[in-house]
Chains A and B, each alone.
Chain A
Amino acid sequence: MSIIEVSNLKKSYEKLDVLKGITFNVNKNDVVAVVGPSGSGKSTMLRSLVHLEEISGGSIRVSGEDLVKDGVYSKPQEIKRITSKMGMVFQHFNLFPHLTVKENLELAPRMARKEENSVIQRRSTELLEKIGLTDKATAYPANLSGGQKQRVAIARALMMGPEILLFDEPTSALDPELTGEVLQVMKKLAEDQMTMIVVTHEMGFAKEVANRAIFMDNGEIIETGHPDELFTNPKFERTRSFLIRSLK
């Protein structure tokens, strides 16, 4: 069953068309890797799903509900409810620097969901254990490595119990030796059947973990397929030349 349905998604700034009519579906438990050169619109596409970008046309449906239909957005309350089914992990982590790791995790459930304290505490303890940072609960983000920060950001997104987790180049801001620990956590999530869309440059990860890959270039989806197939035997010249460039 499709949990995300995007059809003819368009986005333009003034005269510049960033997304030129994108259509794709994501099924439950899918791990979708979105690859493509920078400026191809992959981040904009991802950000549109959680309404960080206002789209210019097309439709987005999330688990059967319209976020946008033919360019017309639902009411603000509906938008908020529908986007809350998705969690987002950013390239630059965007942790709250004035809060400890634990407070970062617990702020949103406490403020936005008004959940009970004991429930929140139990979940944050669990998640910290899952990402292996129990000993950093009272540390501030400034005292964490990049990899640790991104793991905390993933846990923070998971605190809201999302049905889908979106990753916007989660390892691009990290030193190469720190990407492994983040990819490890993401792999664990995939094993737990989490539905994920990952904009990434990590071809290795995409190949190993994703069950689908989407190649975007210049605001369009050029081809999609199983990563093994798309990466080893691309149908289109543009995909091929991108792969050659990025595997160098």
Chain B
Amino acid sequence: MSFEYFNTILMPMLEGAQMTVLLFLIAILVSIPLGFLLTLMARSSIRPVAWLAQIYIYVMRGTPLLLQLLFICFGLPMLPVIGEYLVMDRFVAACLGFILNYAAYFAEIFRGGLLAIDKGQYEAAQVLGLNKWQTMTRVILPQMFRVALPAVSNESVTLVKDTALLYAVAVPELLHYAQTAVNRDFTIMPFLFAGIIYLLITLFLTILFKWLEKRFKFQ
């Protein structure tokens, strides 16, 4: 495979990678806080709020992400009356789908993190006179995030690879460009190249999260 060929596919593929990274960043930055909000809602003492959050989490985790993306991009506009107002830019729609789906997963991860915290922590905080808010922000949350870190790391790697689902709703991202080049030039090089780019992104994430885990080891 010639160096020139490599040059011709490099730019479009990097452009696709840009889309992949953009989607990843938007999805992770919004779905983590949203997921945390869902965690709090799911354990709310106001029953309807808790039920709403739990049903939401169940639906989002219980159906394929691909189905959800297709539903948002192609299903919503078909709804009677309101459908015409729900036509979105494909990329925006995809972001929405990823955010809504991943928030449910992060909610479950954070729930696990909260469960891991000993009730003695709440008791110690209470006896020391900390109020509910101080207990949550100073004692519980830092520990919860620490416990959740490996699972968040894992989930974010999955998210990088899931961005390839954009292919199904025809938003041009990394895999889309690779596929186009493979068809056009009848060579598997673009697939390999795409694989390497995914690996580089996940390598970066892995190193970042390893660093975070070490930084917040509390030892």
Contacts and interface: CB of A to CB of B under 8 A. Distances in A.
Interface in A69-97: 80, 83-84, 86-88, 90, 92, 94-97
Q: State the majority secondary structure of interface residues on B.
A: helix
Contact of B142 (A87, A98, A141): A98
Range for the number of chain B residues in contact with chain A: 20 to 34
Interface stretch (A4-12, A108-116, A129-137): A108-116
A140 B219 contact: yes
Given A96-B121, A98-B146, A112-B131, A52 B218 contact: no
| Central interface residue in B124, B126, B218, B219, by most chain A CB within 10 Å | B124
Contacts of B128: 107-108, 112, 156-157, 160
Contacts of A50: 127
A143 interface: yes
B143 interface: yes
B134 interface: yes
A206 B16 CA distance: 74
B127 A88 contact: yes
A143 B127 contact: no
B126 A108 contact: no
Interface string A116-160: 000000000000000000000000111100000000000011001
Interface in B107-135: 118, 120-121, 123-124, 126-131, 134
B86 interface: no
Contacts of B121: 94, 96
Interface of A: 50-52, 80, 83-84, 86-88, 90, 92, 94-98, 107-108, 111-113, 140-143, 156-157, 160
Interface of B: 118, 120-121, 123-124, 126-131, 134, 138-139, 142-143, 146, 216, 218-219
13 contacts: A86-B127, A90-B124, A92-B120, A94-B120, A97-B218, A98-B216, A98-B218, A107-B139, A112-B128, A112-B131, A140-B219, A142-B218, A160-B129
